[in-house]
Amino acid sequence: MSPRKFFVGGNWKMNGSKKEIEALVDTLKKGVQGDAVEVVVGCPAIYLQHTASILPSNIALSAQNCYKVSKGAFTGEISPAMIKDIGAPWVILGHSERRNVFGESDQLTADKVGHALSEGLKVIACIGEKLEEREAGKTEQVVLSQISALKPAIGQNWDKTVIAYEPVWAIGTGKTASPEQAQEVHAIIRDWLKNEVSSAVSESTRIIYGGSVTGANAKDLAKKPDIDGFLVGGASLKPEFVDICNSNA
Ligand SMILES: O=C(CO)COP(=O)(O)O
């Protein structure tokens, strides 16, 4: 039995309305029972407060991004202190859309991770290679350089960090990594944790997979020894998210 509790995050991205979120939360309340799985939903900033007020206690709330300082003249940004203030314990950082659409660097991502953890938030830290990097045989190099950049920022806070491996070519494309492809990279990350941090951290840190996860493919992915859950985009907005949450049962 894995020492790691199965973890499923829903990343709603820039989707939803108050009404749609209420309907989705209703579905989740009925389908996700108990606390055998840790379930977290990543909600657009503007709906965090409303979602916090309707989520059941066995589903936690996450922001999708934050800035690297607690307050100040940073128009449009939100801080970890604000996220905590409205009752959300988690934040997703380093998502490939932040990195590739908004040009956020490894260094900025690390600064955000370090600040969020120091403010007491838990972090879903995302890494993953692009298609051309995979095709050039650079997957390991890219993923390990991204996680290495986060290491000083995470410091002693590995127990408050979940690593999401999200190959960019699999995000929103319907091209899921095969269970073998995902397992191979998860094992590389776990090995890196063992060598660069500690055996205990390697054994206890959840490494979750993201990229076109659906109710249909989650079970096979979840069988792999180093896949400890999922970060789900499109399917997290649909009732099948419940099946993904229960895919380890
Ligand atoms: O980016 C993702 C989760 O953060 C994955 O998105 P999809 O599940 O839509 O491919």
For residue 60, the domain's CATH number is: 3.20.20.70
The parent domain of residue 71 ranges over 7-28+35-245
- For residue 169, CA distances in Å to 186, 210, 212 come to 16, 11, 10
pLDDT at 242: 97
The tens digit of pLDDT for each residue in 181-231 reads 999 999 999 999 999 999 999 999 999 999 999 999 999 999 999 999 999
Q: Is 124 domain-assigned?
A: yes
CA of 44 to the centre of ligand 1 (A): 15
**Which atom of ligand 1 is found nearest the CA of 172?**
10
The pTM assigned to this predicted structure is 0.98
pLDDT at 132: 97
Q: Is 48 domain-assigned?
A: yes
Pick the residue whose CA is nearest to atom 2 on ligand 1: 233
pLDDT at 249: 85
Please give the tally of structural domains in the chain.
1
**Which atom of ligand 1 is found nearest the CA of 234?**
9
Q: In the beta sheet, which residues pair with residue 10?
A: 41, 232
* Ligand 1 pocket mutation, candidates 13, 163, 243, criterion most atoms within 8 A of CB: 13
- What is the DSSP secondary structure assignment for residue 238, as one 8-state letter? S
* Ligand 1 pocket mutation, candidates 169, 208, 212, 247, criterion most atoms within 8 A of CB: 212
CA of 73 to the centre of ligand 1 (A): 31
pLDDT at 48: 98
Which portions of the chain are predicted below pLDDT 50? Answer: none
Indicate which residues carry an active-site annotation. Answer: 95, 166
Closest CA to 185 of 162, 165, 161, 206: 165
Pick the residue whose CA is nearest to atom 7 on ligand 1: 233
CA of 211 to the centre of ligand 1 (A): 5
Q: Is 40 domain-assigned?
A: yes
CA of 164 to the centre of ligand 1 (A): 11
- Classified as helix, coil or strand, 73 is coil
* Ligand 1 pocket mutation, candidates 213, 240, 243, criterion most atoms within 8 A of CB: 213
Q: Is 218 domain-assigned?
A: yes
ipTM: 0.99
pLDDT at 77: 98
Q: Is 187 domain-assigned?
A: yes
Q: Is 104 domain-assigned?
A: yes
Q: Is 1 domain-assigned?
A: no
Q: Is 175 domain-assigned?
A: yes
pLDDT at 3: 81
